[in-house]
Amino acid sequence: RSVNIVAFGNESDGFSEDNQQPSLIWSYLRRSALISQIDSSLSASHVGNPVFTEYQTCVFGNVRLVVHDCPVWDIFDSDWYTSRSLIGGADIIVIKYSVNDKTSFQELRDSYVPMIKKALNHCSVPVIISAIGARKNGVPCTCPLCTSDRRSCVTTSEGLQLAKELGATYLELHALNDFYIQKYFGGVLEYFMIQSLNQKSSEKMKKRKKTQKCHRVQPPQLEQPEKMPILKGEASHYDADLHNLLCCCQCADVAFCPEDLSTVVEAHKVILCSASHLFMLLFEVKSPADIRDASIVRTAQSLFAVEAGAPRGVPPGVPPVRVVVKDAVFCSCLPDILRFIYSGAFQWERLEEDIKKKLKDPEKTEHVLEKVKCILKTPGKLNAAKDCRSHQIKRLYNTSLRLFFNTPVLADVIFKIQGATVPAHRAVLVARCEVMAAMFNGNYLEANSILVPVYGVSKDTFLSFLEYLYTDSCCPASILQAMSLLICAEMYQVMRLQHICELYIITQLQSMPSRELASTSLSIVSLLKKAKFHNSDCLSTWLLHFIATNYLIFSQKPEFQDLSVEERNFVEMHRWPSDLYLKQLADYRNYVHSQKCHCAVM
């Protein structure tokens, strides 16, 4: 054990004739009864003058005491590194000055105290300020050329203010005799030495306890499970599918033409009726009594004429219904208007630009746009221009096509499934499903048949599949229904619906608590087998990770034995918690059990 003391300053009066008086530190070391043999050595600066004196001795019997006495403050100017090292290694700092040397005190206060405060910024070291000497009461000379005013005394209040700045203990030693050295200065210094030793002992004890704690057997650290693969959703291409239907004109059941029958523009009744009550009236989906809007009835009668005797639902092989457009200007813009309707009927500004470029006549442009507004008009509402702005027109098909889902209105195909019939519209099926587009337009039996049988799926699953085709949305009621819908989507190659079902299954399993997962009758291994068989690679990979992450739950289930060798190896490799962790945990529990201490009282 050791105590390091650093003393700064000169206690002698620089202007007195007697400069041979012993220093404060040497006087204490020589007179204290606690001090044994003293060893001293000098350290010289680069010019040969002593910078500090080092004393080494023992105190309190076996405590090593090291004192560095620095009489000159120049060490802070010439060797800041040494002075900072001395302060950094100090347990106690002593600052001394003569009360009769005001110039030295002012230099200490103005120049060196800020440096000491900077060095003490990150440590809490006790500081003792010793004001040494008896004040001389002579009146100083007021002559500006005389240096005798330097003999002015340092007052007690100035010393106390300095001690306050440093958070130090202030002592006044009027003489370097036994009373002031041993009992006054020595008592304070020895108090701080004892405090320093106690603090070091406490820190040593804490360090020892910390070391002992580190050597104890620690519980094993459970690492986080591996991150599962992230499935990204596919963007909707609903509007693009319907726009492509207009471009290819597959399964068209209506043909618009001018009065001279010179050109033909083909379209689809179900798409037009989903966008407009006027077309519902035109193709007899609704009657004038149902519409209850005279302006829509007048516009339909003045603008279009349907070929007499046209059927409401066109069977395969029957030519499309011919509709004569009575307004020649409107008929010339019909391809742009149909493109606008098939694209979702919300790009109004683009329609305006296309018609302006084509007609190049403001009056004709306004005339055609008014007709379009009337076509899109909702019965009973004003036909205001602002209602047709792009930011105010809602998407039509995902809500309006729902009106024609599972209804015989305008239906041209009927699916027979599990003894029941489900009506549908070829135009929607062809636009939304490539497999059905090939089936209804290729050399297949279904191309010329109204009744089409469906095998391999249930009625409810097929209805959910058709609902997605009509509305671009689906909401499975359970994980099993989502898997059945995924199988149907894979059969008809509707990849976005397959991804939606995968995300639904994953979301439902992730939200399932461990207790429910352990008690559920749902077979995750069976889901894995189905996902692999139906080429759902993303879901099958995720389910393998899910089984590995919940290894302790699934390893206790009978279905775990149904995993293939390859799947079992993957799960064992990625299992959580790992086998190594479980072994370490068992060893730790055995250690804790063997180290248990029973209460002596009990």
pLDDT classification of 124: cutoffs 50, 70, 90: confident
Compute φ and ψ for 98, nearest 5 degrees.
Answer: -90, 135
Residue 459 makes CB contacts below 8 A (sequence gap 6+) with 417, 418, 420, 422
The alpha carbon dihedral of 535, 541, 543, 544 has a sign of positive
What is the SS3 assignment for 193-240? Answer: HHHHHHHHHHHHHHHHHHHHHHHCCCCCCCCCCCCCCCCCCCCCCHHH
Q: In the prediction, which pLDDT does 300 show?
A: 93
Dump pLDDT digits (tens) for 31-85.
776 676 667 666 544 334 456 788 888 888 788 888 888 877 766 666 666 667 7
User: Quick check: 431 and 268 in contact, CB under 8 A?
Assistant: no
Specify burial of residue 359 (Cβ count, 10 A radius: 0-12, 13-18, 19+): middle
pLDDT higher for 40 or 29? 29
Residue 484 has pLDDT above 50, yes or no: yes
pLDDT higher for 108 or 466? 466
Query: What average pLDDT does this structure show over 284-303?
Result: 90
Dump pLDDT digits (tens) for 549-590.
999 999 999 999 999 999 999 999 999 988 888 888 888 888
403-433 burial string, b = 16+ CB within 10 Å, else e? ebbeeebbbbbebebeeeebbbbbbbbbbbb
pLDDT classification of 138: cutoffs 50, 70, 90: low
pLDDT higher for 20 or 391? 20
Q: In the prediction, which pLDDT does 49 show?
A: 44
Compute φ and ψ for 110, nearest 5 degrees.
Answer: -85, -35
Residue 131 has pLDDT above 80, yes or no: yes
Which residue is associated with the tokens 């439902």?
508
Residue 20 has pLDDT above 80, yes or no: no
Dump pLDDT digits (tens) for 351-388.
999 999 999 999 999 999 999 999 988 886 655 444 45
Query: What average pLDDT does this structure show over 148-163?
Result: 79
Residue 462 has pLDDT above 90, yes or no: yes
Dump pLDDT digits (tens) for 504-551.
999 999 999 999 999 999 999 999 999 999 999 999 999 999 999 999
pLDDT classification of 394: cutoffs 50, 70, 90: very low
- Please tell me what DSSP assigns to residue 128: E
pLDDT higher for 20 or 519? 519
Measure the CA–CA gap between 21 and 39, rounded to whole angstroms. 20
CATH architecture under which domain 246-310+317-376 falls: 2-Layer Sandwich (3.30)
CATH 3.40.50.300: which residues of the chain? 2-40+48-137+151-205
The H-or-E segment that residue 86 falls in is: helix 80-88
Measure the CA–CA gap between 380 and 358, rounded to whole angstroms. 32
| Secondary structure (3-state) at 273 | helix
Q: In the prediction, which pLDDT does 311 show?
A: 53
Q: In the prediction, which pLDDT does 59 show?
A: 83
- Strands 169-173, 63-70: parallel, antiparallel or unpaired by DSSP? unpaired
Q: In the prediction, which pLDDT does 327 show?
A: 93
Measure the CA–CA gap between 405 and 241, rounded to whole angstroms. 17
Residue 266 has pLDDT above 60, yes or no: yes
Calculate what percentage of the chain has a pLDDT beyond 90: 40
Q: In the prediction, which pLDDT does 571 show?
A: 93
Residue 434 has pLDDT above 90, yes or no: yes
Q: Long-range contacts for 491-494 (Cβ within 8 Å, ≥24 apart)?
A: 491/435, 491/456, 491/457, 492/433, 492/435, 492/436, 492/465, 493/433, 493/434, 493/435, 494/432, 494/433, 494/465, 494/468, 494/469
Query: What average pLDDT does this structure show over 453-482?
Result: 94
Among 335-344, 423-432, 593-602, the range of highest mean pLDDT: 423-432
Q: In the prediction, which pLDDT does 239 show?
A: 87
User: Quick check: 338 and 252 in contact, CB under 8 A?
Assistant: no
CATH 3.30.710.10: which residues of the chain? 401-496
CATH superfamily of domain region 401-496: Potassium Channel Kv1.1; Chain A (3.30.710.10)
Residue 425 has pLDDT above 50, yes or no: yes
Among 12-16, 47-51, 302-306, 438-442, the range of highest mean pLDDT: 302-306
Least confident range from 116-125, 267-276, 315-324: namely: 116-125
> For the whole model, what pTM was predicted?
0.62
CA 209 to chain centre: 39
The CATH number of the structural domain formed by 2-40+48-137+151-205 is 3.40.50.300
Q: In the prediction, which pLDDT does 45 show?
A: 43
Measure the CA–CA gap between 400 and 414, rounded to whole angstroms. 21
Specify burial of residue 1 (Cβ count, 10 A radius: 0-12, 13-18, 19+): exposed
Dump pLDDT digits (tens) for 170-203.
999 888 888 888 888 888 888 888 888 888 888 8
* Beta strands per DSSP E along 347-489: 413-417, 420-424, 451-453
Closest by CA to 326, choosing from 256, 254, 255, 252, is: 256
As a residue count, the chain comes to 602
